[in-house]
Amino acid sequence: MSKNMGNADRIIRAVVALAALWVAYAAGFGSVPGIIAIIVAIIMAVTAAVGVCPLYRLIGVNTYPANQR
């Protein structure tokens, strides 16, 4: 699967993942909001790490630089 996320997009997702972990901690890891925040954090962290977003692919968005494709 080819990358479809640029560096800025990946950095934003990493920051969102960290923020979601903080929300999970503040809400309590076992609470419903905490669990939802953990799921969001995992999704954001994984997509940031691999540079591929399945939703982007589904809707045809590609933020990866054209000169590196």
Q: What is the pTM of this model?
A: 0.89
Residue 19 within a domain: yes
The DSSP annotation for 26-61 comes to HH-TTSHHHHHHHHHHHHHHHHHHHT--HHHHHHT-
Residue 69 within a domain: no
The per-residue pLDDT for range 24-68, each reduced to its tens digit, is 999 999 999 999 999 999 999 999 999 999 999 999 999 998 888
Residue 20 within a domain: yes
Residue 49 within a domain: yes
* Count of domains forming the chain: 1
Residue 16 within a domain: yes
Residue 23 within a domain: yes
Residue 11 within a domain: yes
Residue 12 within a domain: yes
Segments forming the whole domain that contains residue 30: 7-64
